[in-house]
Amino acid sequence: MKKVVFLIVLIVFIVAIIIFALNENSKGTLVVNSNQSIDFKESNEILISEETKDMAFDFIKSISKKKYFDTYDVYLTKEGKSAQSKFLTSIQTSKGTLIYFKQFSSEDKIFSEIKSGRAKQFYECINICLSNEFIKTKNCSCGAYFMDY
């Protein structure tokens, strides 16, 4: 009888160790799987500082660092604040616009590009969209300049 009780206790002990080990492994696997599937959604929001001298140039710099959205929501923020402050407008662009401006690795190259051609026309369109007259419309389109790019 003592042998049967000892054998049952030993089996329960071994089963408990196995369950504990499997439970620890599954927790570790769950953490790894959760971390792998985390996908931070990129926002279509463009934050422009109130102190900027050139809102259109800041807009172009910002979209060149983002993934493509049909429309970007532009907010005016206080210096050093990442929270949205004041909604200005939504600006519609094309995928070609993003492709075009992503090819330039520095702000200086972007700045030199917006001095002529389609890039200049796009820049001027963004300037108009961000002007006080057009901000009231809450929606502006500059998507036509790079549609074929």
pLDDT at 145 over 80: yes
Structure tokens at 90: 């939504």
Q: What is the pLDDT of residues 54-67, one digit of tens each?
A: 999 999 999 999 88
Q: What is the pLDDT of residues 4-53, one digit of tens each?
A: 777 787 788 888 788 777 665 454 544 445 455 445 567 899 999 989 99
Half-sphere exposure of 148 (CA within 13 A, CB side): 1
Q: Is 19 helix (H, G, I), strand (E, B) or coil?
A: helix
**Whole-angstrom Cα distance, residue 141 to residue 73?**
12
Number of Cβ atoms within 10 Å of the Cβ of 91? 25
Residue 139 and residue 89 in contact, taking contact as beta carbons nearer than 8 Å:
yes
**Domain segments of the chain: what residues?**
1-39, 45-146
Q: What is the pLDDT of residues 69-87, one digit of tens each?
A: 989 999 999 876 666 578 8
Rg (CA), the chain: 28
